[in-house]
């Protein structure tokens, strides 16, 4: 009798959920409709939030799933201002360049960041992935270079501005974007990558350079050896600043930036005296004042941010699948095959190099051509692979978090083809599907991985699929689900991964 009553109650509850679903589109849609979450649904401060993942620690939960659709899924992710580039204060030459490249209106972060950067303030710029942060700092820099260059005596290997990145792939991409903007502006752009530093020191480049885009390690060595001069540099940009301010990079970064005369605010002279700094990232480091205190005044930073930071992408569905470890390869094969049938590009993320290698070998053995990129791969092997993926030569990429930060997966390769032949424009398919074969260990990594799709220029129909197999993954997913249901920021979005790992090791040793 009790079982019958429970069955009737459950059936009635599902019927009510179904009736509600007919009226509203759920923000969170679950396999069990009684756990759906709708827009406007709220919880009191002390109310226990019912989670679809509550029972996922049990073995019998395998096969369960839920999808986060977010708010306003039919609207573009990035707010576009009605203010034009001209009204924003962009000079005529750069307005023409933006028009030629198909940009009619600036994005929110471009409007917000343009004025403080152009006025010489040290600026911390934080915005969701794929919203145009690269142009947000490149446009005011280019405008500065146009003003400064006639008043500076040209010297070999003496740039006026430098963009520093943590990875070669990101430096290459930013260099291509900067080159496309400066092509008809008489501004020289140089890209400096690591991996060949010893050869460059033995046979140093000798060239005129106005804007240098470089990886941290390569630029640091070239400055130390005196090959590149820094006395004319008036603007330093740290792209993916959360990574560069991580304990893995901070010592080398601090030693380098102490050589610059970083001012509280550079003056209006042409060229100015001293140097300004711009930080750009999708996640804001919690230790920003502590991290920058050694080379600049933290109180000099002007913070520019959009409203969607530290939240999941609102216009792309995030599907979470509860699977066993042995179920993951078969599910991956099914999803990737479906993507290829629809001619969609897909990126597959793993936490470890060994898993990344396995995914690549597994798919290739099943007649699916898949490229592999990870941090331990030798530079000659890695170089060019991402370019093959961007240009659509190969539609599947297996990677670690080295490919999760800053890389544009939509239109960068269009510029490359444009330069090869002015009359032929090739539009490669953008990344439409992200698969987290291993769910990331930190929320900041999830934000960056998700940002490889649903970007400006991406088509409709993008999606993210997450495989959830281990207790630690379930714990993080529950935190994400709770944040979405309560409409709050994701918890512990702290990009200092190395410090978190060390803290965990210390805690484990204390327990032992």
pLDDT in tens, 45-57: 888 899 999 999 9
Q: Is the pLDDT of residue 253 over 50?
A: yes
pLDDT digits (tens, 9 = 90+) for 333-385: 999 999 999 989 999 999 999 999 999 999 999 999 999 988 777 766 766 77
**Mean pLDDT throughout 249-269?**
91
Place 154 in a pLDDT band, splitting at 50, 70 and 90: confident
Listing DSSP states for 424-443 in one string gives ----PPPEEEEEESS--SSH
Higher pLDDT, residue 98 or 8: 98
508, with CB counted inside 10 A (0-12, 13-18, 19+), is exposed
pLDDT confidence bin for 22, thresholds 50/70/90: very low
DSSP state of 80: B
Q: Residue 426: is its pLDDT beyond 50?
A: no
pLDDT tier, 194 (very low <50, low <70, confident <90, very high otherwise): confident
**How high does pLDDT run on average in the chain?**
83
What domains, with CATH codes, occur in the chain? 28-61+312-504 (3.40.50.300), 99-305 (3.40.50.300)
Looking at the DSSP assignment, which residues form a beta bridge with residue 476? Answer: none
pLDDT at 404 over 50: yes
Structure tokens given for 413: 């390769």
- Rounded Cα–Cα distance for residues 280 and 132 (Å): 11
Average pLDDT over residues 124-151: 91
pLDDT of residue 282: 82
Please report which helix (H) or strand (E) contains residue 508, including its range.
helix 497-511
214/238 Cα distance (integer angstroms) = 10
What letter does residue 373 receive in the DSSP assignment? E
- Distance between CA 131 and CA 273 in Å, rounded? 32
Quick one: pLDDT band at residue 506, thresholds 50, 70, 90? very low
Specify whether the CB–CB gap between 110 and 98 falls below 8 A: no
| pLDDT above 70: percentage of residues in the chain | 81
Alpha helices by DSSP H, 24-107: 85-88, 92-100
Q: What is the pLDDT of residue 125?
A: 92
Say how far residue 288 (Cα) sits from the centre of its chain: 18
84 has a pLDDT exceeding 70: yes
Above 80 in pLDDT, residue 430? Answer: no
Band (425; pLDDT cuts 50, 70, 90): very low
In the structure, what pLDDT confidence band is assigned to residue 82 with cuts at 50, 70 and 90? low
For residue 411, what pLDDT band results from cuts at 50, 70 and 90? very low
Q: Which residue has the higher pLDDT, 415 or 50?
A: 50
pLDDT of residue 212: 97
Token reading at 356: 């990344």
Q: How large is the average pLDDT for residues 185-190?
A: 94
Can you tell me the distance from the alpha carbon of 262 to that of 122, in angstroms, rounded to the nearest whole number? 9
Name the residue among 196, 181, 188, 209 with its Cα closest to residue 415.
181
pLDDT at residue 135 is higher than 70: yes
Dmax over Cα atoms in the chain, in whole Å? 92
Percent of the chain with pLDDT over 90: 51
Residue 449 has pLDDT above 60, yes or no: yes
Rounded distance, CA 106 to CA 131, Å? 10
* Pairwise CA distance, residues 75 & 460, whole Å: 10
Q: Tokens 């291993």 appear where?
A: 438
**HSE on the CB side for 124, CA within 13 Å?**
20
pLDDT score at 450: 87
pLDDT in tens, 23-34: 567 899 999 999
* Cα 51 to chain centroid, rounded: 28
DSSP-derived letter for residue 227 is: S
All residues at 6 or more sequence positions from 363 whose CB lies less than 8 Å from its CB, including other chains = 332, 333, 336, 369, 370, 396, 398
DSSP 407: -
Kindly state the tokens that stand for 28.
């969170």
Q: Among the listed ranges 79-83, 419-423, 494-498, which one has the minimum average pLDDT value?
A: 419-423
**Res 508 pLDDT > 50:** no
Instruction: Please give the pLDDT value at position 412.
Output: 39
The answer to whether residue 80 scores a pLDDT higher than 90 is: no
Residue 312 is predicted with a pLDDT of 83
- β-bridge pairing 65-68 and 318-322: antiparallel
> Which tokens go with 84?
């034009």
pLDDT single digits (tens) 283-323:
776 667 777 888 998 899 999 988 777 888 777 899 999 99
Beta strands in 242-301 (DSSP E): 276-281
Position 81 confidence tier, pLDDT thresholds 50, 70, 90: low
Return the pLDDT at 464: 95
- Distance between CA atoms of residues 47 and 26, nearest Å: 20
- Distance spanning both ends of the chain, measured CA to CA: 51
Question: What span, in angstroms and rounded, lies between the C-alpha atoms of 459 and 450?
Answer: 15
In the beta sheet, which residues pair with residue 212?
162, 190
Identify whether the C-beta of residue 480 lies closer than 8 Å to the C-beta of residue 490: yes
Name the residue with higher pLDDT: 80 or 135: 135
As a three-state string, the secondary structure of 62-128 is: CCCEEEECCCCCCCCCCCECCCCHHHHCCCHHHHHHHHHCCCCCCEHHHHHHHHHHHCCECEEEECC
Mean of pLDDT values over 249-266: 92
Over range 241-263, report the average pLDDT: 89
Per-residue confidence (pLDDT) for residue 408, from 0 to 100: 55
Return the sign of the alpha-carbon dihedral for residues 99, 103, 109, 111: positive
Contact 71, 39 (CB under 8 A): yes
């Amino acid at each position: 009798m009790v079982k019958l009553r429970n069955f009737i109650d459950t059936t009635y509850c599902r019927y009510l959920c179904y009736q509600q679903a007919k009226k509203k589109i759920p923000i969170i849609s679950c396999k069990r409709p009684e756990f759906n979450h709708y827009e406007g649904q709220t919880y009191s401060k002390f109310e226990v939030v019912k989670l679809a993942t509550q029972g996922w620690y049990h073995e019998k939960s395998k096969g369960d799933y839920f999808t986060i659709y977010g708010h306003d899924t039919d609207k573009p992710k990035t707010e576009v201002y009605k203010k034009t580039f001209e009204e924003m204060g962009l000079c005529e030459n750069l307005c023409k360049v933006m028009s030629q490249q198909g940009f009619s209106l600036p994005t929110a972060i471009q409007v917000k960041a343009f004025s403080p950067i152009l006025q010489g303030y040290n600026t911390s710029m934080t915005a969701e992935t794929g919203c145009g942060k690269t142009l947000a700092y490149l446009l005011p820099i280019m405008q500065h270079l146009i003003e400064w260059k006639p008043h500076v005596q040209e010297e070999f290997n003496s740039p006026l501005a430098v963009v520093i990145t943590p990875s070669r792939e990101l430096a290459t991409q930013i260099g291509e974007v900067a080159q496309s903007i400066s092509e008809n502006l008489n501004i020289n752009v140089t890209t400096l990558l690591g991996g060949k530093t010893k050869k460059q020191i033995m046979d140093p480049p000798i060239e005129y350079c106005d804007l240098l885009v470089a990886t941290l390690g390569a630029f640091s060595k070239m400055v130390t050896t005196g090959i590149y001069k820094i006395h004319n540099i008036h603007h330093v940009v740290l792209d993916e600043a959360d990574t560069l301010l991580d304990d893995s990079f901070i010592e080398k970064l601090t030693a380098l930036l102490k050589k610059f005369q970083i001012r509280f605010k550079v003056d209006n002279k042409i060229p100015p005296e001293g140097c300004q700094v711009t930080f750009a990232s999708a996640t804001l480091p919690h230790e920003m004042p502590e991290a920058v205190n050694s080379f600049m005044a933290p109180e000099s930073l002007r913070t520019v941010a959009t409203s969607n930071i530290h939240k999941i992408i609102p216009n792309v569905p995030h599907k979470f699948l509860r699977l066993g470890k042995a179920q993951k390869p078969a599910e991956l094969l099914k999803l990737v095959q479906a993507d290829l049938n629809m001619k969609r590009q897909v990126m597959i993320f793993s936490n470890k190099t060994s898993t990344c290698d396995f995914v690549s070998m597994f798919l290739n053995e099943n007649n699916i051509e898949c490229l592999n990129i990870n941090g331990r791969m030798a530079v000659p092997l890695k170089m060019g692979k991402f370019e093959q993926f961007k240009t659509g030569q190969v539609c599947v990429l297996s990677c670690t978090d080295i490919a999760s930060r800053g890389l544009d997966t939509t239109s960068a390769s269009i510029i490359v083809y444009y330069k090869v032949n002015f009359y032929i424009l090739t539009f490669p398919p953008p990344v439409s599907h992200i698969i987290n074969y291993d769910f990331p260990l930190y929320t900041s990594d999830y934000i960056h991985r998700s940002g490889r799709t649903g970007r400006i220029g991406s088509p409709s129909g993008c999606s993210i699929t997450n495989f959830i197999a281990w207790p630690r993954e379930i714990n993080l997913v529950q935190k994400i689900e709770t944040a979405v249901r309560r409409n709050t920021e994701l918890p512990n979005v702290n990009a200092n991964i190395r410090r978190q790992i060390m803290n965990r090791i210390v805690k484990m040793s204390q327990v032992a």
